[in-house]
Every structure is written in C-alpha cells, then in structure tokens.
Structure 1
Amino acid sequence: MAFTSSRCSATGFSETVETARNRVLLTRKKRFLTENNEAFLLGVSSDITDLKRTEGELKQANQELEEFAYRTSHDLRSPLVSSIKLLEITLKILRKGDTEKSEKYLFIVRESLQKLESLVTDILRLTRLRHTTSEIVAVDLTNLIENVLKKLSNLDGYHLLDIRLHIEPHLPLSLDISNLTLVLENLVSNAIKYYNPRSEAPYIAIDAAIKSSALTMRVRDNGLGFPESALPQIFGMFKRFHPQVSFGAGLGLYMVKKSIDKMGGSITLLPTASETVFEFSIPLTAQDIPQAS
C-alpha cells in the first residue's frame, strides 16, 4: 500500500506493537502539518502475527539447543570418565589376583556404559526427528500397535501386564507412520518400565477413536505415575521422574511432544487419581473421516 502527500512536513513518528483479536500488529504513525498549519495523523498497521510466532519458536529452539549441548556434553563425558577410572582400578586389582572384586567393578562399568549407549541412542533418534521429513502412508492402527507391543515384549515386566486394546477405526488411515511409531513406543515403554509392582492387576490400555476430524488416542496405565509437581515440566528435555527405577536420558517424552507437534497434533497428561493417561490427537485428511450415512 502506498501513500503520497504534497507540501507536508513531518513533525513526529511513533511505532508500536499492539495485539487485537489474537493478532499482533505493528502500527506506525506519523504526524503531518499542511501548508495551512493543519495537523493530521497517518497510521499504517501491518499484521506480524506469523513473524512474532516464528521469532518465539526460534528463541525457544536456541534455548533448547544450548541446554541440549550442555547436558549432552556433561552426560556423555561423565560415564566415560568414571568408566576409565574404574577400569584402571580393575586392572590393578586383577594384577593382585582378586577376580571377585574385579568382576564387581566390571559390572559397574557395564552399567555405566549401558546408560551412555541409551543416551547416544536417544540423541540419534532426536537428530533424525529434527531432520527427517514426514512419511504419510496408509496405516493399519491395530497392526501398528501390535508391532510396537511385540518390539517391546522383551522389556522386564512386560509379561506381568494385562494389555487392553480398544481400537475403533479399523480402516487404514493416512498418517505419519515414523512419528506415530515413535510416540507409541515411548509411551508404551514408559508404562512398562514404570509399572507398579505392588499392584494386583497392572495393565496398559490403548484406546483409539476418530473424534472431530482427528484421530484421538489414549495410552493408560496404573503404574507409578508422576508427582503433581512434575506436571508443568512433563514434556521437558532431560526430565527424569523415577531415576531409581530405570535409567534413561530423560528425552523420551520430549521427543513424544516434538513428534506430535510435527504431525500438527496436541498431547496432554490428563489428571486422574488412579491412572496415568496420555491423550493425543492428530488431524486427519477428509478422506479418512467417516461420512455420515
């Protein structure tokens, strides 16, 4: 939009960022005087909502990158340093012929390196998540969930759990299979790792239905759950809530959230006294939404 004015001299200028009806506007105002000394104000507003949103996303990404760099450098170095020291001690003990004590230290080294391997695996998965493009294919949900369960069936405690499936959409749906698989693997593996050994009937339930033009899924369990204080940071990077039960990098739920965002969906942890319930929704294309007969 262009504005022209003749024989006018500028006497003032202002620039403000304003919010109106959930839109962010950059408003520029300029005061003019005519040759007859009459004052008038010229104002132009530009919609910068998308620019501000992108700016916010870039700031968040930079903060996450800084935290990621710091934490990974620390968490990668720590087990390596401790393992090297333990191996040096073990070598000295072996030279003295104390095989029993040497074996004890070697088990500690193995555990430390297993934690390191878990962290490296999560870092690689997160890197792939950030750089791979979506792969939208026809997905049979029941088959996908059964494959996820089969892959995780070797985890400790799996065979103690009652697996309950309630999958309503039986026809294939067009979905991002790699990101959806990552979400289900992380949520289900967490439910297995953190099941409650004191529960008489531990279970994992997976529900799926089409609601309001979206696939809505719930992964429920009656395991250890989360402390109320953890809820605001549940999807944060490097957050671990039961370190005494199972080791991990604390990136699983962070990757779950990023995968859901990448699919254009949303996820929440529903507050409930008896269950841990993660509910997420993924928008569907028109061809996947059942039409009323």
Structure 2
Amino acid sequence: MMPNGYNPALVALSIAIAVFASYTALDLASRMRGAGPRLRLAWLSGAALAMGGGIWSMHFVGMLAFEMGLPAAYDLGLALLSLALAVGVTGAALAYVAREGSRTRDILVGGPVMGLGVAAMHYTGMAAMRVHGSVAYSPPVVAVSVIIAVTAATAALWLTVRPSGVGQKLGAAGIMGLAVAGMHYTGMAAATFTAEAAGVHAGHLDVAGVNHQTLALTVAGATFVILFLAILATSSDQQRVARELRASEERFRAAVQAVRGVLWTNDPQGRMTGEQPGWAALTGQSRAEYEGYGWANAVHPDDRAASVEAWNRTVAARSTFVHEHRVRARDGTWRHFAIRAVPVLEAQGAIREWVGVHTDITEQREAEGELRESNEEIQRYAYIVSHDLRSPLVNVMGFTSELEATREEVRAALKDHPQAGRIDADMEEALGFIRAAITRMEGLITAILKLSREGRRRFDPEPLVMTDLLRSLADAQRHQAESRGAVVTIAPDLPEIVADRLAVEQIFANLIDNALKYLDPARPGRIDVTATPAPGGRVRYAVADNGRGIAPHDHARVFELFRRSGVQDRPGEGIGLAHVKALTRALGGRIELSSTLGTGTTFTVTLPRGTATGKRAAAEPARLAAE
C-alpha cells in the first residue's frame, strides 16, 4: 500500500471548475423555459456540455491532484467514454425534466438517473488510469459516493427547473460544485492503491510531477474556455432579450400614443413617484406638484373625491382600476379620460408598481351627448307629430260617421234613380276603405306614441330570477299555445340578471308571442327558451321555435319599424320586433336572428348580468416579462 496525498492547488482548481460549470449549466438550462424548439435544443446542448464537461474536467483535475507515489497514464478511449457518459446522461436528464408537460416529481426520476451516470463517469475515469500496481475499492465508501452523486444530481435538476435570480444561481452553483467535488473525493477515498515494486515513488516525483501539473492546467484551461464561450452565449442572449424588451417598450408607447393615451406609473402603495413625462405633458404639473397624490389636483373638483376613493379601494384590493374622470389639460380646458391601471407583480407575488393609461374620450363623450339630445329630440318630435295627427284623424272619423248617417237620406233621394243601387254600393265600398284606413292610421299613431314613450322611459333595475319570470310569461300565453297545439319549455337553470323587470317581460313576451303566431300548422309546435354564459359578464338567452322560418332576405327587415316578412295572415302593425330591439339596446344588450325557411327560427338576446353602470370584472394582475 502506497502513501498518498493531494496537491492543494489542484484540489482548489477542481472545486472552482465544478462551481463555475454548475453556474454556467444552471444559467443555460434556465433559458429553456419559454424558448422555441430550436432555441430550446441549443440551450439544452449548452447546459449538458457545460455540466457534463465541467464534472468530467473536475474529476480529471482531481485525479491529477492525487499524489499516490506511482507513475500513472490514462487510456484515451476510456477517458473519452467517461466524458461522453457525463455529457450524455446530463443532457438526457435535463431533457426529461424540462420537456413539455413535465412535473416537479419527474426530478425524482431524472435525478437518480443523472447521479448514477455521474458515478459511472467517475469510476470509468478511474478505470482509465494505468498504474504499476493494483486498485481495490471499499464497497461502503463507494455506496456513499453514489448516494452523494444521486443527491447532488437531484438537487442540480431541481435548481435547474426552478425559477431563480442571479443570487440564487450563485448559491446553487456553490452547493452543486461542492457536492460534485465531495462525490469525487469520497470516491477517491474508496480506492486503495498497492505498488508492485519499491522505490518508484521518488522516481515518480522526479519524472511525472511537472507533467501532471501541466496536464491539469491544460485540461482546466480548455474547460474554462468552453465555459467562457457558454457565458458569451448567455451574454449574447441577454443582449437579445434587452433589445426585444426595448422594442416592446417602444411598441407599447407607440400604441398608447395611437389611442391618444397618457402612460403613467405609481409605486406599490399607489402614489405617483419619479419622472412622469406623459402626465406632466398633459397637465403641466411639475414633479413636485404631481408626486404622491398631487395628481388629484389636476382632476375636476366634482370628480376628485370619487377618483381618490376609487383608487385607494383598488390599491387595497390589488385589482384592476377602471374609472372615468375629467382632467384639466395644460391649456386649461377640461378633458374627459377613461382610466385603466393594473398592478405589476414580482415573482413572489408582491406588487412592484402600478401601470396605468389615461385615454382621452372627450370627443366620444361629446358625440354621445349630442346623440342623446338628438334621440330625445326625435322622440319629442315623434310624440308631437303622432299626437297632432290624431286631430285630423278624429275629424276624418267624425265626417265618416256623418257620411254613414246621411247614406239613408241619399238612398231615399235616389230611390227611383236607375243607378241608385250602384251608387249605394260605391258609397258602401268607399266608406269601407275609409274605415280601414282610419283603423290602420290609428294603429300606426298608437305604435309611434308607444315607441316614443318607451324611449323616454326610465328603467328601474332589480335582480330577476329569469326562470320564474319566463315561466310566468309562458303561463300567461298558455291558452294561445294550447289552441295552436304548441308546447313552451323554459329551461330550469336560466342565469339571473339585474335589469328592468317590465322591459325584460316585454322583450320575451313579444318573442314568445311571435313564435306562437308563426308556427307551422303541419307539425306540433315547440318553443324552447334556454341560456348560456357569454364573455364579458353577459348572458345569451335563446328563444327557438320550429315554425315557418324567415327567408334570408328578410332577416334584417324584421327589426325595422312597420316592416313584416312572409305571408301576412296574422294581425299586427310590424312594431313588435322593432320594440324588442329598442328595449334590448336600452338595457345594454343586443338581439340576433338565426332562421331557416321551413325549419324554424331562433332569436338570441344577449344581456349583461348587471346593469349597464355596474362594475366590470377585474382582470388578472400583470406579471413581469422576466417571469
């Protein structure tokens, strides 16, 4: 048995290689998350080469640091095989735990495989050593070295797939490097070398000492070059990410400008800090004036308290801020803005900052105001016109009654006239046409007045249990349904909404009544009312029938005032669907039609779950791009 020891400088060098390689591999492997297939393969190959090559280099330098007093050489084939084992097994383990759909528990499979591969690399490298003597191993110490390898590999994979910053990577690399070194030197402690002849120790020191150091430095130098190139690749990737980030910021700022918006940021507590060029350009406030809650001084006095209260409530709830208020612009005018702000979260879930945009909607609000005034004026005009039309209509009705009263006198005066019968028949026909026209005109005037009153009506929103409401409407029309041999089915689980009860009743009563009117007599009638959720906190209600259907060219016309489609064998003025459409719009919804002639019709009414002025659903907080 030969006395042995270690060269402290080479031992330190081997540990440094292990730590440096671990950091590089962890950094490269962490870039696989979110990368495309080709880039993912490149980062995987780099991480496997850095980790496997670093472990192999550390092993080789550690072997050269071992002073056993025997001349040693190395079998090139086995040495390269040990390198291939290190790189291949490391790459396979990284690929397994980083694949699509992998879970954290997969580390418990990849870690032991990688650890056993590293142990195989170590003992293959030991087998590559050629000495004038024999080598024996202590099984318990070998087992300990394998356990260390498996533990170190599992820890390495866990640290690789776990999101981490630079500080965490440095700590992980130190732990991993020391663990790899510990595995190697534990494996070396398991080996006992016995010389074949005496007296070689001195000769070995004279002949092989310098060569060992030169070889160690060459291996270490080549390893550091590989790792340096990997670091350069990482740096290049970081520069690419930085360029993409700058481009993204420029696009974002351009997008904000395109929508006439002003970008601003607040600290986690919701206070405006730092340089805010957009806000300063809009309001003319200096940094000292807008910092903290000074921005509120630029908000219209009537909107200020509500804005600050809503903002504080949003900050406390960590939700999305959606609001509107007026802001005094630099030129002293008041502009109307829609505001939306979201919290930006760190990886740990803490708020880093708030990012918001003020979008100028002054022209939109002014246009809406003008449109409201125009609609009100049209409604007043329609009311006045329809009301005034009643006066001449009443006169026509009165004179028609007088004509009917004098008809007997005319008949008596023309009793002996040869054309008396024809004249009487013509008068009867003419009076019939006048009466029909009066009835038609009366219906039209009543319809115009009804729509005019609906346009001026104020809605009173309340929670509505839609299943019960629609069943009551169906019950009210049960006699009509039974007389037509039809069945009206209301789904039992219709979502509830908040809306004006009378308006909703009028909408669905009209739709059910229309469906009953235009059923196909050739088959039993069926009307089904169902509902499904719709995006944006809305509900889509469908009234479907198996009636006559509506021809494609009439789909748009049926919603027009006084327009009807198909065979006109049912009474009506053509205002029902126009009324339904007007009410649906007033409730903040829309109505759509799907129909096939001869098959049936489905009217779909989409309504908000809450009132038009209800709170919008909060969006998810934004997270940093680096996550």
TM-score, L = length of structure 1? 0.62
Whole-angstrom CA distance in 1 between matches of 2:394 and 2:517: 22
Moved more, 56-65 or 131-140: 56-65
Deviation for aligned residue 1:184: 0.6
Corresponding residue number in structure 1 for 2:556: 232
Deviates more, 1:218-227 or 1:122-131: 122-131
Question: How many correspondences in the alignment?
Answer: 247
Residue 376 of structure 2 is aligned to residue 51 of structure 1: no
2:581 counterpart residue number: 257
Name 2:488's counterpart in structure 1. 163
1:73: how far off?
A: 7.7
How far, CA to CA, are the matches of 1:217 and 1:191 in structure 2?
15
Is 1:241 the counterpart of 2:570? The answer is no
Summarize the alignment of residues 87-166 of structure 1 with structure 2, pairs less than 5 Å apart. 88-89=403-404, 92=407, 118-119=443-444, 122-155=447-480, 158-166=483-491
Which consecutive unaligned segments of at least 5 residues does structure 2 have?
Answer: 1-257, 262-334, 336-359, 413-424, 618-627
Quote the Cα distance in structure 1 between the aligned partners of 2:569 and 2:260: 45
- CA deviation profile, 1:162-210 (whole Å, cap 9, x unmatched): 212224236x54222111011011111111122222x312221111233
Q: What residue in structure 1 maps to residue 499 of structure 2?
A: 175
Alpha-carbon contact 2:397-2:438 (below 8 Å) kept: no
Quick one: structure 1 residues 136 and 64, their matched pair in 2 at CA, closer, same or farther if it must change by over 3 Å? closer
| Counterpart residue identity of residue 590, structure 2 | S
Residue 71 of structure 1, CA deviation: 8.3
User: In structure 2, what is the Cα distance between the partners aligned to 1:181 and 1:153?
Assistant: 16
Instruction: Please give the residue correspondences for 1:78-93 in structure 2 after superposition, counting only pairs within 5 Å.
Output: 81=396, 85=400, 88-89=403-404, 92=407
User: What are the residue-to-residue correspondences of 1:31-46 with 2, within 5 Å?
Assistant: none
Larger Rg: 2
Match of 1:209, as an amino acid?
T
The answer as to whether partners of 2:557 and 2:564 remain within 8 angstroms in 1 is: no
CA distance in 1, matches of 2:480, 2:430: 25
Match in the other structure for 1:268 = 592
> Match of 1:42?
none
Paired amino acid for 1:250:
G
SS in 2 for 1:200: coil
Indicate how the Cα distance of structure 1 residues 205 and 169 shifts in structure 2: closer, same or farther if over 3 A, else same: closer
> Structure 1 residue 217 and structure 2 residue 532: aligned?
no
**Deviation digits for residues 28-62 of structure 1, max 9, x if unmatched?**
xxxxxxxxxxxxxxxxx975123334445666776
Report the structure, 1 or 2, having the larger strand content. Answer: 1
CA distance in 1, matches of 2:494, 2:473: 18
Whether the 8 Å contact between 2:386 and 2:449 is mirrored in structure 1 is no
Report which stretch shifted further, 260-269 or 119-128: 119-128
Contact 1:208 1:216 in 2 (8 A): yes
Give percent identity, aligned residues only.
20
Match of 2:514 among 187, 190, 194: 190
Deviation, structure 1 residue 265 = 0.9
CA shift in 2, pair 1:160/1:265, >3 Å: same
Asked whether the 8 Å contact 1:169–1:210 carries over to 2, the reply is no
Q: Partner residue of 1:208? A: 531
Greater helix fraction, Structure 1 or Structure 2: 2
Partner SS, residue 183 of structure 1: helix
Give me the whole-angstrom Cα distance separating, in 1, the residues matched to 2:409 and 2:438.
20
- Answer whether contact 2:481 2:488 (CA < 8 A) is retained: no
CA distance in 1 between counterparts of 2:372 and 2:565 reads: 27
Residues 86 and 105, structure 1, Cα contact 8 Å, conserved in 2: no
Q: In structure 2, do the counterparts of structure 1 residues 90 and 166 end up closer, same or farther at CA, with 3 Å as the change threshold?
A: farther
Does the 8 Å CA contact 1:80/1:113 hold for their aligned counterparts? no
Greater CA drift, 77-86 or 158-167: 77-86
User: Cα deviation per residue 1:61-99 (whole Å; 9 max; x = unaligned)?
Assistant: 7678778877898899789858964884587369979xx
Match of 1:7 in 2: none
AA of the residue aligned to 2:583: S
Within 1, Cα distance between the matches of 2:470 and 2:395? Answer: 36
Q: 8 Å contact 2:589–2:606 — kept in the other structure? A: yes
The separation in 2 between residues aligned to 1:162 and 1:260, in whole angstroms, is: 25
Return closer, same or farther for 1:95/1:159 CA change in 2, 3 Å cut-off. Answer: farther
For residues 233 and 68 of structure 1, what CA distance do their matches in structure 2 show?
A: 24
Task: Point out which structure has higher relative CO (alpha carbons under 8 A, 6+ apart).
Answer: 1
**Tell me, what secondary structure is at the counterpart of 1:48?**
helix
What amino acid is aligned across from residue 252 of structure 1 in structure 2? G
Partners in 1 of 2:435 and 2:607 — Cα distance? 40
Quick one: which amino acid aligns to residue 528 of structure 2? A
The residue type paired with residue 454 of structure 2 is L
1:37 is matched with: none
Distance 1:178 1:191 in 2: 20
Contact 1:167 1:208 in 2 (8 A): no
> How far did 1:263 drift?
0.9
Contact 1:216 1:279 in 2 (8 A): yes
SS class of match (1:224): coil
The amino acid of 2:515's aligned partner reads A
From the superposition, tell whether residues 235 and 139 of structure 1 become closer, same or farther in structure 2 (CA, over 3 Å). same
Contact preservation (8 Å) 1:264, 1:282:
yes
CA RMSD of aligned residues (A): 4.6
Q: Which residue of 1 aligns with 2:181?
A: none
Whether the 8 Å contact between 1:87 and 1:106 is mirrored in structure 2 is: no
Partner of 2:549, secondary structure, is: coil
1:3 aligns to what?
Answer: none
1:122-157 per-position Cα deviation (integer Å, ceiling 9, x unaligned):
445423322221121222222211222233345487
